[in-house]
Amino acid sequence: MARIITDECVSCGTCAGDCPVEAISMGDSQYEIDPDKCIDCGACEGSCPTGAIVEAE
């Protein structure tokens, strides 16, 4: 299951640079993770200053 970005996202873009498979990009109102690309490595989670990246249930 891919990780997701919650509405805590402030669109700083830090996580996008940390994703090894380029699964993170700016969406309509905040950054989003493409679930088809995400390998659930967790690299992005620690880079988010607001803790907006979480494991999907």
- The residues of the shown chain that bind ligand SF4, judged by CB under 6 A, are 2-3, 18-19, 21, 23-24, 33, 38-44
% helix / strand / coil in the chain, to the nearest 5?
A: 15, 20, 65
Task: Decide whether 26 or 39 has the Cβ nearer to ligand SF4.
Answer: 39
Q: How far is the CB of 22 from ligand SF4 (least distance, A)?
A: 8
Task: Decide whether 29 or 43 has the Cβ nearer to ligand SF4.
Answer: 43
Q: How far is the CB of 56 from ligand SF4 (least distance, A)?
A: 10
